[in-house]
Amino acid sequence: MPSPELVILRELLAHGTGFVSGEALASRLGVSRVSVWQHMEKLRAEGFAFEAVRARGYRLTRHPAALHQTLIEASLRGGAKDLPVTLLDEVDSTNDEAARQLAAGRAAPFVILARRQTHGRGRLGRVWHSEANGNLYASFAFRPHLPPGRMQTFTLWMGVSLCELIANFTHHAPALKWPNDLLFDGRKAGGMLTEARIDADEIRDLVFGLGLNVNSPAASWPGDLARRAVSLAERTAAPLDLNRFAAALIGRVLLAYGQFVRGEHTDAFADLWHRYDVLRGQPVALLQAGRRVAGIAVGVDDEGSLLIHPPGGRLQRFHAGDVTLEKHP
Ligand code: BTN
């Protein structure tokens, strides 16, 4: 059952700069106009502003800049319109929270967002810096019922889908560094962490985690991160509308997940990866289980494995590892 505030925001957003009469809102909610006004007061206290004009009604003139759960829900479109969104002020890790909720039996899909994580995690046990600084920490929970072998290209497909979204939204296209980094000019703008629980021969639970540097100012990074990290806002030289962006991102992830599960991604995948792949044609070194392989990266295969051509050797494929760009000889 949507809350009255969600119904009000959905109506106002649907009318853009147009007005919605108090009467229409009251009848939609099945409450009195006084009650509508009380719900709008609640929204005002949370940072919204409305223009009220006699005989015409209300329109939205300002919304909060910080993440706001009801505003994100009201901004969801298409297949994501009814996706449950939970926004937490603080959590250890949104991936862990999503996994806990899946284990407790919550119906999937759903998304967990947090303003801040106390134990944000990256790949290979790394820490994901997760201050409340205008960035996104999001985890999407699914129950795919797919054979585990099908998941190899999942994160890569999500990566290209996110690049498409970011390029459309900001007019700045990021690059992808296999298997899970989103970069601008070699600096990290985002990272993905996919975690699954597997039952017999089927994936039971899947959590797709995304940390995306959206609005953090350059000066907010501690120590070494100032050199290695970048936000979309730094790149576009203006802060993004975080709630609108979060809603667009949720819609895109849900769309990409559906395409993946139905196997509709296979035709587009190779071309899209090629478009965003920062490693292709570059000298790289890959570390895997204490072994180092250097060579020229030549893209990924259909299974999402990284292809490296060592000098004078045969093409090798890797489905895991930590890869770095090397200097040209
Ligand atoms: C990486 O680049 O190594 C992956 C980083 C993934 C970070 C995100 S933030 C939201 C979700 N919760 C976590 O603890 N990790 C992921």
Out of 96, 128, 131, 182, give the residue to mutate to test ligand 1, the one with the largest number of ligand atoms within 8 Å of its CB: 128
Residue 328 clears pLDDT 80, i.e. is over it: no
Residue 323 corresponds to which amino acid?
A: V
Query: For a pLDDT cut of 70, what percent of the chain falls above it?
Result: 100
Residue nearest to atom 11 of ligand 1 (CA): 209
pLDDT tens readout for residues 6-20: 999 999 999 999 999
Average pLDDT over residues 265-287: 96
* Cα of 121 from ligand 1 centre, angstroms: 5
When pLDDT is cut at 50, 70 and 90, the band that residue 1 belongs to is confident
Q: 138 CA to middle of ligand 1, Å? A: 8
What's residue 90's pLDDT? 98
Q: Categorize the per-residue pLDDT at 102 as very low, low, confident or very high, splitting at 50, 70 and 90.
A: very high
> In the predicted model, what is the mean pLDDT of the chain?
96
The reply to whether the predicted model has a pTM over 0.85 is yes
Distance 208 CA to ligand 1 centre (A): 9
Residue 289 binned pLDDT confidence (cut-offs 50, 70, 90): confident
pLDDT at 327: 83
Mean pLDDT in residue range 47-74 = 96
CA distances from 124 to 39, 165, 193, 288 (A): 46, 26, 10, 11
- What would the mean pLDDT of 322-326 be, rounded to a whole number? 94
C-alpha torsion angle, residues 198, 204, 208, 209 (rounded to 10): -70
How far is residue 95's CA from residue 139's CA, in Å, rounded to a whole number? Answer: 5
* 297-316 pLDDT tens trace: 999 999 999 999 999 999 99
Confidence check: pLDDT of 253 > 80: yes
Would you say residue 103 has pLDDT above 90?
yes
Tens digits of residue pLDDT in 112-131: 999 999 999 999 999 999 99
pLDDT in tens, 220-249: 999 999 899 999 999 999 999 999 999 999
In the chain, alpha helices (H)? 4-14, 22-29, 33-45, 69-75, 94-103, 154-170, 225-228, 232-236, 242-261, 266-276
Kindly state if the Cβ of 161 falls inside 6 Å of ligand 1: no
- How many angstroms does the Cα of residue 178 sit away from the middle of ligand 1? 15
CA-CA distance, 147 to 202, in Å (whole number)?
Answer: 5
The protein residue whose alpha carbon is closest to atom 10 in ligand 1 is 137
Q: Check if the beta carbon of residue 66 is closer than 8 Å to that of residue 34.
A: no
pLDDT at residue 244 in the model: 97
Average pLDDT on 123-145 reads: 95
Average pLDDT of the segment spanning 80-105? 97
**pLDDT value, residue 133:** 92
Q: What is the pLDDT of residue 77?
A: 95
95 within ligand 1 shell (Cβ under 6 A): yes
Q: Is 44 in the pocket of ligand 1 (CB under 6 A)?
A: no
Using the atom order of ligand 1, give the atom closest to the CA of residue 191. Answer: 2
Q: Phi/psi of residue 296, each to 5°?
A: -100, 130
Band the pLDDT of 285: cuts 50, 70, 90: very high
The pLDDT confidence band at residue 22, using thresholds 50, 70 and 90, is very high
What would the pLDDT profile of 193-206 be if each residue is shown by its tens digit?
A: 999 999 888 999 99
Residue 135 Cα to ligand 1 middle (Å):
12
Q: How far is CA 47 from CA 21, 39, 60, 223, 294, in A?
A: 21, 13, 11, 33, 53
Instruction: Tell how far the Cα of 191 is from the centroid of ligand 1, in angstroms.
Output: 6
